[in-house]
Structure 1
Amino acid sequence: MAESSDLQIQKKKVPHLAILPIPLQGHLNAMLQLANLLHSKGFSITVIHTNFNSPNPSNFPNLRFEPIPDGLSDGKRWTEDPIHATHVLNDSCQEPFHDCLSRLISDSPHGPVTCIITDEIFHCTKDVADRLKLPRILLGTTSAFHIATMTTFKLLQQNGLLSISDGEPNTLIPEIPPLRMKDIPDIGTADPEMMERLGAGIDNAMRSALGYIQNTFDGLESTYLVKIRQDIHPMPLFEVGPLYKFSPGSSNSILTQDYSCMAWLDKQVPETVIYISFGSSGSFGKKDVVEIAWGLANSDQPFLWVLRPGSIHGHDSVELPEGFEEKTRERGRIVNWAPQQEVLAHPSVGGFWTHNGWNSTLESICEGVPMLCSPYLWDQKVNARFASHVWKVGIQLENGFNRSEIEWAIRRLMVEIEGKEIRERARDLKENAMRCMEKGGSSYESLESLVDLIMSL
C-alpha cells in the first residue's frame, strides 16, 4: 500500500502543460513536435486545439486533446485574408480557451495545469493567463532573422526613414542586409490597420511571457539570436530546433500523404530528383502551372511534384498542358501530397523547389538538400533571400514563373558546377545542425534550460 501511495504522489508531481497551436500546417507541426519532445522529458501534455484543422489524436498517443470552438467554418478565410482570420481566432477562442483551462485546473485527473505554451500569434492568451494566474511561454514558428529584420523594418517605417512605395524593388535596405525592398513580406490583408493591431497585440503579449521558444539552431542564426536577446525580447530565449529532428514522426499532416512516391524514389539515381512543393495553402494561376510544367519537362531532370487540389486559383482539379505527361512519363511523378520529411531525407532527392515556409526551409537545410526558391507570402521572401544570399544553399527565381528561366535554374541547381558547390554548403549546414543537437550542443543545452525553467514553476 505504501508503494502504491508513493506512485500516486509521484504521478501528481508530473508537471501538466497545456498548449494551444494556430491551426495552420507549419504552426501545428512545430507545436506538436514540441509537445512530443516535452512529453519525452517527463511532462504531461494536453493539446487545446481548434475544430478547424483539428489534429488527429491517433497520431499522438502520448498527448491528450481538448477541442474548442474557433469561429472558422472552413479554410476560405485563411486564403482570402489570413490577417482577418487571425483576428477571428483571437476573438473567438479567448473565452473557450479560458473555460477549458479552468476545467483542467480544477478537475483534471492528470493534475492541474501549471504552465501554458501558445503560438505567439495567439495574443489573446495573455489575458487568459493573467486571469488564471498561469505562467505563459510562447513558441515562435518563424526564423530569428525574420523577427529581427522585421522589427528593424517596422522601426524605420515608424521613424519615417523607409517607405515600401518609395523604393525600387531591387534597392538594398542598408539597415537590414541582405534584404531588398522586394523582400519585405506581403502582409496578406487588404487592411494594413488590422495588421498593425495584430502586431500590437503580439508585442503586448510578448512583454509578460515567461520565455520564448524558437524552432532554430545557433549554428544557423547566431547573430540574430543575439540581437533578439539584447534588443527585442529581453526574456529567456530557447532555440531548440530543429524540432522535427528532436521529435521524429510527430508531424501532423492536414492532407493525406501519398507514400507510394517513396517506392518511386527508390528506383531513381541518387541526388537526381528535384522535389517540388509550394506548401499546404499556396495557389497559382493556370498560366503559372503551365510554365512550371514545361520548365520541368524541358529540364530533362527527374521530378516529384506535389499538385494538391486547390493548387490553381478557383479550381479544385488540376489540368496539365497537352503533351506534358507523354514527355515526362518515364521520369516524373505527381502526387496530391507527399511525406515531405521522408522525401527530403531520401538519397535520390538532390533539390527542393519550395515556397520557403520556415518549416520547409529548415527541413531542407537539415537534410542537406539545396533549394530552388519561389516565395510568395509572409516570411517566405525573407527566408528565400537568406537561403540564396547568406547561406548560399539555394537559387531564387526572381521573375515569377517562366519556363525558360525554370529550366535553366533547375539545371544550375541539379547538374552544373554551381549546383555542386551549393550542395557542399548544404551538407556543411546539415552537419552543423546535427552538432547543435548533440549533448553539449546549443540546441541540446537550450532544451535542458527550458525543461529546468518549467520544472521550477
Structure 2
Amino acid sequence: MLQLGSYLHSKGFSITIAQSEYNRPDPSNHPDFHFILMSENLSGTGVSSGFIQFLQALNDNCRPHIEKHVIQMINTQKEKSEKESIVIIYDNLMFCAGSLAGDLGLPSIILRSSCAAFVPAYRIIPQLHQEGRFPIKDSMLQEIIPEFHPFRYKDLPFIGIPIQQSLQMISMMNPKTPPVALIFNTLEFLEQSTLTQVRDLYQIPIFTIGPLHKTSPIPSTSFLNEDSTCIPWLDKQSPKSVIYVSLGSLATIDAKVATKMAWGLAKSNQPLLWVVRPVRIVSMY
C-alpha cells in the first residue's frame, strides 16, 4: 500500500494513510504522506484466538477511527470549497473501509497485492464445496480442476483450513459494496487469461501496475534486519545465472521435503540463493 501511495503521489495525488498501531511504518520515511494512526484495541484478540475473529475485531475496531477522519476531510473540503475528490483505496481484508465508502457515498478501489489468479481460485471454492469436491481428497490433489484449467486441486487456497473458516474468509473477501475499480500488483502479460475472467466477473476497470517494488521503491518495511552479505557473492555471478528461492513468510515444510528440494536444486549445477527466515532454519535443518 505504501508503494502504491508513492506511485500515486508521483502522479500528483495527495495521500493519507490510515494505519493501525500494530507494525506501523515510520512516518519520517514517508514525508509526503499524511498518516492517521488508529488504535485497534486488540488486547486479548490475537491471531491465536482464530484468524476470522481477529480479522473481524480489527475491522470493527478500526472503522470508527477511519470514519471520523474521513468525515473531517469531507467537512474541511466543504468549508474551503475544494473540489478535489476523496477516493478510498483499501486492502481487501480491511473490508470495513469499503462499507464505509459506500455509506458516505465515496468511490472505493481495492488493492489486491496477490496475483490475479487468486480471485477465481478462492471464488470457485464454495461451488466445489457444494459439489462435494472441497475439502479435497488426497487422491484428487494432482487432478486438474475442469473449470479452472490448468490449475490443480492442490493449487487452491485454504487447503488444510476447516471448511467453515474457509467459507467465512471467502465471504469476508467478497466486497459487499461494489468498488469502482480493482488494482492488481501483477503484469498484464503474465495473467492475461485470468485477468479476462476477472474483468468479465466484476465488469469494472482492472488496473495491473506491478511489480510495485520496481515501480515505486520505498524504504524497507521488513520485520527482520536485511542481510546484505550475499551481495558480494552475487556480484561475482554471471548475469541471470542465479536461482533465487523463497517460500514466503507463511509456508512451512519439514526437513525431509526441504532436503529433497535442496538436492534437486543442487543437481541443477546452477548458483543458488535460498532465503530462509532464521526461525525456520531450526525447524528445517
Aligned to 2:69: 100
Aligned to 2:12: 42
C-alpha distance in 2 between matches for 1:263 and 1:74: 45
Deviation at 1:304, TM superposition (A): 2.8
Contact 2:88 / 2:106 at 8 angstroms: preserved in 1? Answer: yes
Contact 2:108 / 2:179 at 8 angstroms: preserved in 1? Answer: yes
CA distances 1:148-171 after superposition (whole Å, capped 9, x unpaired): 24334433433x263444552222
Q: Is residue 2:212 matched to residue 1:208?
A: no
Contact 1:273 / 1:303 at 8 angstroms: preserved in 2? Answer: yes
Deviation at 1:288, TM superposition (A): 5.0
Q: Residue type matched to 1:157 in 2?
A: H
Aligned to 2:29: 59
C-alpha distance in 2 between matches for 1:149 and 1:306: 27
Contact 1:84 / 1:194 at 8 angstroms: preserved in 2? Answer: no
Task: Give me the TM-score of the superposition, normalised by structure 1.
Answer: 0.53
- What is the RMSD of the two structures over their aligned residues, measured on CA atoms? 3.4
Residues 352-431 of structure 1 aligned to structure 2 (within 5 Å): none
1:178 equivalent among 131, 145, 150: 150
CA distances 1:226-275 after superposition (whole Å, capped 9, x unpaired): 22122x21222222223223213465323221223212311334444333
Deviation at 1:64, TM superposition (A): 2.3
CA distances 1:403-428 after superposition (whole Å, capped 9, x unpaired): xxxxxxxxxxxxxxxxxxxxxxxxxx
> Kindly tell me: are residues 188 and 136 of structure 1, through their superposed partners in 2, closer, same or farther at Cα, counting changes over 3 Å?
farther
Counting aligned pairs with the same residue, the percent is 35
Structure 1 alignment gaps of length 5 or more: 1-30, 313-317, 322-457
C-alpha distance in 2 between matches for 1:264 and 1:128: 50
SS of residue matched to 1:121: coil
> Kindly tell me: are residues 91 and 34 of structure 1, through their superposed partners in 2, closer, same or farther at Cα, counting changes over 3 Å?
same
> Kindly tell me: are residues 72 and 248 of structure 1, through their superposed partners in 2, closer, same or farther at Cα, counting changes over 3 Å?
same
Q: Residue type matched to 2:29 in 1?
A: N
Contact 2:126 / 2:167 at 8 angstroms: preserved in 1? Answer: no
Aligned to 2:54: 85
> Kindly tell me: are residues 220 and 304 of structure 1, through their superposed partners in 2, closer, same or farther at Cα, counting changes over 3 Å?
closer
SS of residue matched to 1:114: coil
Aligned to 2:166: 195
Task: Give me the TM-score of the superposition, normalised by structure 2.
Answer: 0.81
Q: Residue type matched to 2:25 in 1?
A: P
> Kindly tell me: are residues 280 and 100 of structure 1, through their superposed partners in 2, closer, same or farther at Cα, counting changes over 3 Å?
farther
> Kindly tell me: are residues 195 and 75 of structure 1, through their superposed partners in 2, closer, same or farther at Cα, counting changes over 3 Å?
same
Contact 1:282 / 1:311 at 8 angstroms: preserved in 2? Answer: no
Residues 274-293 of structure 1 aligned to structure 2 (within 5 Å): 274-286=243-255
Aligned to 2:195: 225
